[in-house]
Amino acid sequence: MSTKTLGQWSKSVLPDNFEQVNRQMLVIQQFLTEHLPEPINHQVSVINFSAEEIVVAASNPQVANYLRLYVVEVQQQIQETFQLSQKLKIRSVPESLLKIDHPTRSSKPSKVSSETVAAIDRSASWVDDENLKQSLKSLANTLKNT
């Protein structure tokens, strides 16, 4: 087994300029958020920054097409503001892939049907392990009372 820690391993596989590129992407993202009109500014994300190009993803094709209309102007502003020479590319990517947030939890669990409760209770009688049998019966009883 390797004696490398997770931090050492991840540093060994990441490119040397990872932190710098990550910071630059965040700065460009902030710039777009501040300078693009509402609500478009909240529907774009910088998804790649390399020596050749900056890739901005839009959450739907309509926003992507709007940005493509003004790609020359946006590219020029980014280049002048940050002294960059990369070409700006626009992609359309579903919003579900752009946002990496934790899924929202419902405040209340969904209702379990009486048929499901009965099936859990019946299934418990077929289980040989007494602890599991009692757990299933307890679960069925709890679900019945909710």
**Mean pLDDT to the nearest integer, 133-144:** 90
23: helix, strand or coil: helix
Q: What is the CATH number of domain 15-98?
A: 3.30.300.180
Q: State what percent of residues in the chain have pLDDT above 70.
A: 86
The 10s digit of each residue's pLDDT in 94-110 is 877 766 444 455 566 67
Chain position carrying tokens 């998804």: 47
Q: What are the extents of the domains in the chain?
A: 15-98, 114-144
pTM of the predicted protein model: 0.58
**Mean pLDDT to the nearest integer, 59-71:** 91
pLDDT band per the 50, 70, 90 thresholds, residue 19? confident
